[in-house]
Amino acid sequence: MFRLNGPRVEAFSGVDAQLFELLVKGEVEEYRARVHADRHTRPRLAWDKKWGGPVSVHADGSVLAIRLLPGQRPAQN
């Protein structure tokens, strides 16, 4: 959690669980092969209703999501 131009927000970052397991096992070449094969299904940027904010999935399988904490109002410019 942190402040973004005033309002408090929550952020999440991670990586696809299957891709992460490959990295944990040290199977870097298999990780690269899968990322390359799936690159057309990523990147994607969408508003996730369940999360309550934007979610970005990058071509390498990494994910970044951000949302306002309950009770916060967007910053006024």
Q: What is the pLDDT of residues 16-47, one digit of tens each?
A: 889 999 999 999 999 999 998 988 887 788 99
Tell whether the model's pLDDT for residue 11 goes beyond 80. Answer: yes
For the whole model, what pTM was predicted? Answer: 0.69
Domain residue extents for the chain: 9-68
Q: How confident is the model at residue 77 (pLDDT cuts 50, 70, 90)?
A: low
Tell whether the model's pLDDT for residue 65 goes beyond 70. Answer: yes
Is-contact 44 56, C-beta < 8 A? yes
End-to-end Cα distance, the chain:
22
Percent of the chain topping pLDDT 90: 45
